[in-house]
Amino acid sequence: MASEREQKQLEVGADALSHRLTDVRSALGKLILKVETDPTMNWHSFLDSYALITGELNSLLRQMRHEKTPVLKKYITLPLILSPDRDEELVKLTEHRVATFSHDLIPNYLRTRPEPEIENKYAAIENRANGCSQDQQQKQISVIDKVTRETLKLIRRERETMETNSNSRSEVEVTYNNEDTMNLLAAINNGKGLKTMVPVAAARQSPVPVSQQMHNIKAPSTIKTNIKAANTAHPYQR
């Protein structure tokens, strides 16, 4: 009887936690979607979405601490069926994140502790921290606090500058000059403002400036002809 009551309590608690996890996942998905697709997103909108995620996580923690929720630490999760083949039901349940429940993936899916390498690094860091004296720890905390304060000052100053520039800037920025556009069109269509280029070969052959050459060239006023009489004897006539 006691085991049945405990089993029932476990099912109810797991179902409640599942609903809370669904809410957390939904809030995370909305934030990711907003970051990737919303061009008008600003810092305040991001903080609002982040606050929603924080609220869902707090609700999940309260549910875990609830008196009707069993202590999950005393339960062990063991896989009943392992297969390297694709499981469509598993794909559906995990929203296409997990396709197989195989031997090589189970240690990562059901892991409740970090990997041994990470645990060793964490232990080394804790030992190093415990080896520092109280004075050294206090000095390091003071340095970190100073760096944090200066960084916050820099962030606030940059934010105020950006907000000032944004408020003083006109709604529609002018990115073109109408006069320059008209001059460019006149140059393309009518050649206005373009200079005549002299061929390089001609400039090298004549040391006289082109303008002076054009001034010295005169068009002939008349065409002189020399017409001889038809009875004039041909020089080679026999």
Whole-number Cα distances in Å, 33 to 28, 39, 94, 161, 215: 9, 11, 19, 29, 75
pLDDT of residue 170: 60
Range with lowest mean pLDDT among 147-151, 187-191, 194-198: 194-198
Listed by start position, the domains of the chain span 1-75
Q: Each residue of 38-70: pLDDT tens digit?
A: 888 888 889 999 999 999 999 999 998 888 888
Range with lowest mean pLDDT among 104-108, 123-127, 195-199: 195-199
Q: What whole-number distance in Å separates Cα of residue 52 and Cα of residue 27?
A: 7
Contact between residue 98 and residue 91 where contact means Cβ atoms under 8 Å apart: yes
Q: What's the rounded mean pLDDT across residues 164-192?
A: 79
Region class of 132: left (phi > 0), else alpha (psi between -120 and 50), else beta: beta
Q: What whole-number distance in Å separates Cα of residue 37 and Cα of residue 49?
A: 14
Q: What whole-number distance in Å separates Cα of residue 86 and Cα of residue 104?
A: 14
Domain 1-75: CATH architecture, name and number where available: Up-down Bundle (1.20)
Contact between residue 66 and residue 9 where contact means Cβ atoms under 8 Å apart: no
Could you tell me which residue, 120 or 168, shows the higher pLDDT? 120
Mean pLDDT over the full length of the chain:
80
pLDDT of 84 strictly over 80:
yes
What are residue 14's phi and psi, to 5 degrees? Answer: -65, -40
The confidence band for 205, taking pLDDT boundaries of 50, 70 and 90, is: low
Q: What's the rounded mean pLDDT across residues 75-97?
A: 86
pLDDT of residue 236: 47
pLDDT of residue 219: 47
Could you tell me which residue, 227 or 195, shows the higher pLDDT? 195
Query: Between helices 43-65 and 2-37, what is the axis angle to 10°?
Result: 180
What are residue 133's phi and psi, to 5 degrees? Answer: -75, 170
Q: What angle do CA 196, 200, 201 make, to 5 degrees?
A: 130
Q: What's the rounded mean pLDDT across residues 141-163?
A: 93
Q: How many CB atoms lie within 10 A of CB 101?
A: 19
Q: What whole-number distance in Å separates Cα of residue 126 and Cα of residue 227?
A: 121
pLDDT of 91 strictly over 50:
yes
What's the predicted TM-score (pTM) here?
0.44
DSSP lists the bridge partners of residue 101 as 83
